[in-house]
Chain A
């Protein structure tokens, strides 16, 4: 006992960090890191979730690349990704609009941020109501403009776009708050100096302000891309993947195959998840590389 105590005392600073880490790292390895590799493993099997697993090698992936639903999902993921990026300039625009010091502006900022605080389930319900044929506000507006109503969520041409529009609402609010914080920290001397040199409007924004907002833009980019690829709630609430599976994305497709009431294709679902992870890894790596260079520099 005495010797073990003194061993601990001598090596206290080497052991202590691992003791502090133990609970967090155990939970994280068990519930996050290890499952990633388990899923990769499952993707090589055929498995209904209960019975024995059968090794099928790359068959799930081969099936996936022959599945039209996979390409629909992939295409929709791409549309989500591209259109979701609109939240960044939109958020910047709202932030520039609100970056003033008039009475009550704080309350305005909070209220503009509101959509982000509400759950996506509620956002989805709100927009379903907004789009509802027969009485929704949007079909009414479309009718005034074109003379005929469109049920956007039931129309394969518009359904994905309509769901993305609902997602852009909270995401723009998120980007806005990032930019408001960024604008708050801009070096006022540089701005004044540029004003002396007659810079204003767009050229001021482009040459002086945006470079200083780069950290905010980077975070906005990462959270928006991850948000776009994680999209699930809105689709589940607003369209359930339909009409005819046309609003599926990989995350929802995976859910249908492996997790929903009728989904028993674990191996196939895992393969879809692995593809989604591979896409996300591009952006995760980007983020880590940048953080790493920050660590090195300071």
Chain B
């Protein structure tokens, strides 16, 4: 293990390490702690210049209810879920299929198709924006949930296919061969043999895509015009303009907007990190 385990060090070093850890964490999260404290501050504190001291009273309940009362944030959160959940399902489903094709079959063009998915995944959003908006308009889906979801599903399929294909490739191929000898059809092999084995990969992708889509701001701005389809990220930008200096409200709204992906991360931490660090260990 590197660095040398602290347990093998002298007692003072151990104590120093244990003491530095929380201090370092507080400094690291200082901006976040600041915003969290601000979100429970009464507005009078901000008016009288008490920005960093102890809040004069706990106004958390007022602030958070005011956020919901004075804005459409409830709808924005709902919209974010309405975009995020179908996208996760769609992208994971499509990538299971294409990942299977690329991992199990040898055919001409396999690598080309694979690298098309990989390369497409890295292009800047701006090169897609004009044609995608145009296409969505022509399909009559502009400013609709479906329009946004279809694009997200398509784009995320790139990353997900890369992930799924590599995961399936690491499975023992003999499973497929044995099934073929038994005369089992290709679809049944996929459905009954491979899919149950890739559940961890599906979990990892689900949390990752959930976070990516929840946090998407660019497409939310470009593809959603009206409040009834606006996800929380674009909604936050609007609220920031609306509330200007009411930082206790902006802070509370920020905390609300950050909650779902944070909760997802803590619930599915192992899968989340496994997905994110794909490729960081071998190769």
Contact with A along B202-223 (1 / 0, CB 8 A): 0000000001001101100110
Contact with A along B136-158 (1 / 0, CB 8 A): 00000000000000110111011
Question: Is there a chain A Cβ closer than 8 Å to B61's Cβ?
Answer: no
Q: Is the CB of A102 within 8 A of B154?
A: no
Q: Is the CB of B211 within 8 A of A117?
A: yes
Contact with B along A176-190 (1 / 0, CB 8 A): 011101111110100
Question: Is there a chain A Cβ closer than 8 Å to B64's Cβ?
Answer: no
Shortest Cβ distance from residue B246 to the other chain A in the assembled complex, whole angstroms: 12
Chain B: number of interface residues, binned into ranges: 35 or more
Q: CB within 8 Å of B: which residues of A? A: 12-14, 16-18, 20-21, 23-25, 27-28, 30-36, 38-39, 42, 49, 96-97, 99-102, 108, 110-115, 117-122, 125-127, 129-130, 132, 135, 137, 140, 169, 174, 177-179, 181-186, 188, 191, 200, 204-205, 208-209, 215-216, 218-220, 226, 229-230, 232-233, 236-237, 250-251, 254-255, 258-259, 266, 269-270, 272-274, 276-277, 280, 283-284, 287-288, 290-292, 294-295
Q: Is the CB of A27 within 8 A of B281?
A: no
The listed residue with most B CB atoms (<10 A of its CB), out of A16, A49, A280, is: A16
> Which residues of chain B are within 8 angstroms of A119 by Cβ–Cβ distance?
214-215, 217, 233, 257-258, 261
With A115-B32, A233-B218 known, 19 other A-B pairs at CB within 8 A are A16-B105, A21-B101, A24-B97, A24-B161, A39-B130, A100-B3, A110-B265, A117-B265, A125-B250, A129-B251, A174-B276, A184-B281, A251-B126, A255-B129, A258-B130, A266-B130, A269-B126, A284-B123, A288-B115
| Bound Cα distance A81, B217 (Å) | 21
Q: Is the CB of A259 within 8 A of B127?
A: no
The answer to whether A28 and B157 touch (CB under 8 A), given A110-B269, A125-B250, A273-B124, is: yes
The answer to whether A31 and B155 touch (CB under 8 A), given A119-B217, A129-B251, A277-B124, is: yes
| Bound Cα distance A25, B161 (Å) | 10
Partner of B123, one of A24, A36, A191: A36
Residue of chain A at shortest CB distance from B250: A125
The answer to whether A28 and B120 touch (CB under 8 A), given A108-B25, A135-B49, is: yes
Q: Is the CB of A25 within 8 A of B258?
A: no
Partner of B218, one of A33, A137, A232: A232
| Bound Cα distance A120, B218 (Å) | 11
Partner of A137, one of B18, B52, B107: B52
> Which residues of chain B are within 8 angstroms of A204 by Cβ–Cβ distance?
2
Residue of chain B at shortest CB distance from A36: B127
Interface of B is mostly: helix
| Bound Cα distance A171, B128 (Å) | 24
Q: Is the CB of A14 within 8 A of B107?
A: yes
Partner of B281, one of A96, A185, A205: A185
Residue of chain A at shortest CB distance from B14: A102
Shortest Cβ distance from residue A255 to the other chain B in the assembled complex, whole angstroms: 7
Q: Give B20-46 interface residues, CB cut-off 8 Å to A.
A: 21, 24-25, 28-32, 34-35, 38, 46
Question: Is there a chain A Cβ closer than 8 Å to B17's Cβ?
Answer: yes
The listed residue with most B CB atoms (<10 A of its CB), out of A119, A140, A230, A254, is: A119
> Which residues of chain A are within 8 angstroms of B125 by Cβ–Cβ distance?
230, 232, 251
Top 4 A-B pairs, shortest CB-CB distance: A119-B215, A31-B154, A24-B98, A35-B131
Q: Is the CB of B120 within 8 A of A129?
A: no
